[in-house]
């Protein structure tokens, strides 16, 4: 079994719910498990992973992973919102997976709302993490295509095409298929 995994998908593709289920199952089987999240992600709670469907699990919130050392008896490390960590933090997880023979399972977004890959997500691919795509459908009414992109909107419903790559919250985001992303992001951009 691979010891470094990246479970990625758009918002609302049940990444955090899957992490909580895995934490529960591994813990029930008496496997020492550690759950980590970036301290930047304080939307629902500072010290918990909280899914949109209401599942939650205690987590250790950290600004970075440079001083992180798992317990010697830990078998599994689950990392939520991995895109908010740095490439150096990913390198730290690689060392833990390879040198300490721990299973590391990361969950997060691959790309931002401007079709740019998050640096930590890119690093996970570069270091050969086993990729697991978590699927969800487009959030445009009536569309059943695979959601692959995010659109970010301002308070007036206009698509935002610039700004900070790291923004919390999902009330101003929609997960959409490539076709709707191109229509709403690129084609409307040409009308300006």
Residue among 72, 70, 78, 71 at smallest CA distance from 22: 78
pTM across the whole model: 0.88
Classify domain 4-133 at the CATH class level: alpha beta
Cβ atoms of 111 and 118 closer than 8 Å = yes
Q: Show pLDDT as tens, one digit a residue, over the chain (192 residues).
A: 569 999 999 988 999 999 999 999 999 999 999 999 999 776 666 788 888 787 878 899 999 999 999 999 999 999 999 999 999 999 999 999 999 999 999 999 999 888 899 999 999 999 999 999 999 999 999 999 999 998 988 888 888 887 665 565 555 888 999 999 999 888 655 554
* Sequence ranges of the domains in the chain: 4-133, 149-190
């Amino acid at each position: 079994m691979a010891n470094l995994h990246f479970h990625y998908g758009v918002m609302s593709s049940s990444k955090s719910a899957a992490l909580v289920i895995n934490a529960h199952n591994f813990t029930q089987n008496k496997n020492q498990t550690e759950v980590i999240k970036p301290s930047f992600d304080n939307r629902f709670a500072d010290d918990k992973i909280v899914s949109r469907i209401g599942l939650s699990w205690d987590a250790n919130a950290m600004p970075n992973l440079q001083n992180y050392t798992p317990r010697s008896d830990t078998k599994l490390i689950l990392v939520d919102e991995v895109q908010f960590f740095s490439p150096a933090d990913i390198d730290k997880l690689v060392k833990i997976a390879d040198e300490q023979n721990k299973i590391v399972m990361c969950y997060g977004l691959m790309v931002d709302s401007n079709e740019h890959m998050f640096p930590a997500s890119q690093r996970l691919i570069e270091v050969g993490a086993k990729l697991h795509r978590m699927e969800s459908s487009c959030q445009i009414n009536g569309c059943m295509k695979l959601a692959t992109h995010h659109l970010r909107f301002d308070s007036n419903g206009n698509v935002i095409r610039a700004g900070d790559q790291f923004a919390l919250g999902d009330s101003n985001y929609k997960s959409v298929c490539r076709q709707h992303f191109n229509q709403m992001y690129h084609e409307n951009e040409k009308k300006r």
